[in-house]
């Protein structure tokens, strides 16, 4: 696991020629699971904000968000 009090993140990183999976939390209280491609670009990011709001983001090969699913308000 990883725990970095200075940068305020903790989690588990799985690497295979570069980080491919990240499971953890960020400094703003966001819990996330990120899946990356072989080039290290995010392709799928699932997260829950500090307020409990979930989201699921899909990214293109350049790492740009192309679709985000959130609960209907």
Q: What secondary structure does DSSP assign to 5-41, as a single string?
A: TTTTEEEEEEESSSEEEEEEE-TTS-EEEEEE-TTS-
Residue 18: what pLDDT? 73
pLDDT digits (tens, 9 = 90+) for 7-55: 555 667 777 777 788 888 877 888 899 999 988 899 999 999 999 999 9
Cα-atom radius of gyration of the chain, to the nearest Å? 13
The model carries a pTM of 0.78
Predicted local distance difference test score (pLDDT) of residue 6: 59
Q: How confident is the model at residue 59 (pLDDT cuts 50, 70, 90)?
A: very high
**Cross-strand pairs, 44:** 35, 58
Pairwise pLDDT comparison (6 vs 13), residue with the higher score: 13
């Amino acid at each position: 696991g990883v725990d970095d009090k200075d940068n305020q993140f903790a989690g588990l990183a799985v690497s295979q020629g570069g980080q491919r999976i990240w499971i953890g939390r960020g400094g703003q209280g966001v819990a996330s699971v990120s899946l990356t491609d072989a080039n290290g670009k995010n392709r799928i990011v699932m997260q829950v904000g500090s307020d409990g709001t979930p989201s699921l983001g899909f990214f293109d090969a350049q790492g740009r968000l192309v679709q985000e699913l959130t609960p209907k308000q």
